[in-house]
Amino acid sequence: MTGCGHGHASWGPADQIGAANLLTPELRLAALRLVTQGHAYDLSHVTGADAPFMAPNQTPFLLSLWATWRDTIRRRRRHGFTNDAGSNVERLEMTAHTGTHIDALGHFSIGDRLYNGLSAADVVTDRGLDRLGIEHVPPIITRGLLLDVAGLDGGAFLEPGRVVTPDDLACAAGDSVISPGDVVLIRTGWGRFFAADNTRYLAGEPGIDVPAARWLTRQGVVAIGCDNMAVEVLPNPDPTQSLPVHQHALAEAGVHLIENLALEELARDRVTRFCLILLAPKLRGATGAPVRPVALI
C-alpha cells in the first residue's frame, strides 16, 4: 500500500471526515430530487441476541431491563405519587459493530497510522478515540447506487472467498455512472444468512478486494456498503493479508464502510438508484455505530 494514513491533500491536516467532505448542499438536493414515489426501503436488520458477532474482538449483544414498571411504580408510590406511572428502562451491552452499522475512520490503522497521518498511539485511548470518532460523521444524505452481483455465478448468492472485482462492479453498475459523493451498496446475496445461520455467515463471505475498493474510492464514493459482515472478501485470496480493504478505505481513502445491510427488497424491486439517508448517532470516541439507513424512491 502507498500513501498510508494520508488524507486527500485539499482537505487539510485537521480533516476528520474524509470523503464526506464531498457531501455538499447541492449534492443533497440532487439526491432528494430522486424521490418521486415516497417509498422508503429499510436497509437494516433487527439487532438482537441472535445477531452474529466475530469473536474474540466482538462481544454478544446483551439487553437487560434496568428498571421495570413494577419497580418504578413502587418507588414512585413511596414518594407520594398516586397515578402509578410505570416505566421500563434497559441497559445495553454491545460493540458498535453489531448488526447494521457504519465504521468510523478511526476504526482501522495501517501499523500506527490512522486516517490523515494521525498516530494511533496519540489518538486511541482507553475511553475511545480522541479524533476520528463516529461523532464526526456528518448526516449522509446523498445518491445511493445498488450494485447487485449476487447472481454472477448463476446462483442466488456468491460463495465465501469469491472476489468481487472491478469488472464485476462495472458490469453491475450498467449505465449508472458512479459520481463523487455517491454511496455504493453491493449485494452479494450473503445477507440471507444474517441471524438465520450465523455459523455459515461468519465462516467466510464473498466481497470486494483491494483493487475493487480502489476502483470505488478513485471515483469519489463517500461510503461502501455490503450485505455481509466486513464488506471485503473473507478469507482474502492472499493468506498474508487480513482485512486490507478496511485499511485502504478507512485509513488511506477516508471512505466509510457500512456492514450487515439488508438489500433483498431493493434487489427484488430492481431499485438501483435512490436517495440514501444514513444518520450515525454521535457517540463520542466510538469506532463505529449502529445505523438504520433508508433508501427513498
Q: Any idea which residue has 485509513 for its cell?
A: 251
Would you call 9 helix, strand, or coil by DSSP? helix
Which helix H or strand E contains 171, and what residues bound it?
A: helix 166-173
pLDDT in tens, 29-77: 999 999 999 999 999 999 999 999 999 999 999 999 999 999 999 999 9
Quickly state the pLDDT bin for 7 (edges 50, 70, 90): very low
* Residues 61 and 48 sit within 8 Å (Cβ to Cβ): yes
Q: Which three cell numbers stand for residue 67?
A: 428498571
Q: Where in the chain is the domain with CATH 3.50.30.50?
A: 9-47+96-296
pLDDT in tens, 125-134: 999 999 999 9
pLDDT in tens, 252-296: 999 999 999 999 999 999 999 999 999 999 999 999 999 999 999
pLDDT in tens, 131-175: 999 999 999 999 999 999 999 999 999 999 999 999 999 999 999
Is the confidence at residue 2, as pLDDT, over 80?
no
pLDDT in tens, 180-220: 999 999 999 999 999 999 999 999 999 999 999 999 999 99
Tell me, which fold does domain 9-47+96-296 have in CATH? Glucose Oxidase; domain 1 (3.50.30)
DSSP H helix total and E strand total for the chain: 8, 15
Average pLDDT estimate for 224-237: 98
Quote the distance between the C-alpha of residue 264 and its chain's center: 17
Quote the distance between the C-alpha of residue 189 and its chain's center: 17
Q: What is the pTM of this model?
A: 0.95
What was the pLDDT predicted at 14?
96
